[in-house]
């Protein structure tokens, strides 16, 4: 259970350094949610799993590919489309 307003406030004041969120009370997260503009938040579209054989290696492949792309100034893969809500 998360109080998103309180979490956002703590992140804005830097009482917390960051948050990683995968599940929200309302999904997709509404466009007017302050979490979209809160600093130091990583949001995933309710897709976190613990299947090390199938998911984790693919997730890490995408992450490291995106890191290389970011460092090279290239477009990232699997970017959240806020207009679609995921």
Walk along the chain (86 residues) in steps of 10 and give the mean pLDDT of each run. 92 96 85 92 77 76 95 93 72
CA distance 26 to 2: 12
Provide the token pair at 14.
């830097």
DSSP-based three-state secondary structure for 15: coil
In this structure, what are the phi and psi dihedrals at residue 41, rounded to the nearest 5 degrees? -115, 130
Tell the burial category of 45 from Cβ atoms under 10 Å away from its Cβ (0-12, 13-18, 19+).
Answer: middle
Which pLDDT does position 64 carry in this prediction?
Answer: 95
- The ranges assigned to domains in the chain are 1-47, 49-79
Q: What is the pTM of this model?
A: 0.55
Which pLDDT does position 86 carry in this prediction?
Answer: 63
């Amino acid at each position: 259970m998360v109080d998103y307003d309180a979490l956002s406030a703590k992140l804005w004041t830097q009482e917390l350094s960051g948050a990683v969120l995968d599940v929200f009370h309302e999904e997709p997260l509404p466009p007017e949610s302050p979490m979209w503009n809160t600093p130091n938040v990583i949001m995933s579209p309710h897709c976190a799993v613990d299947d090390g054989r199938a998911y984790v290696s693919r997730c890490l492949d995408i992450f490291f590919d995106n890191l290389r792309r970011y460092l090279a100034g290239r477009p990232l893969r699997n970017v959240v489309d806020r207009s679609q809500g995921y």
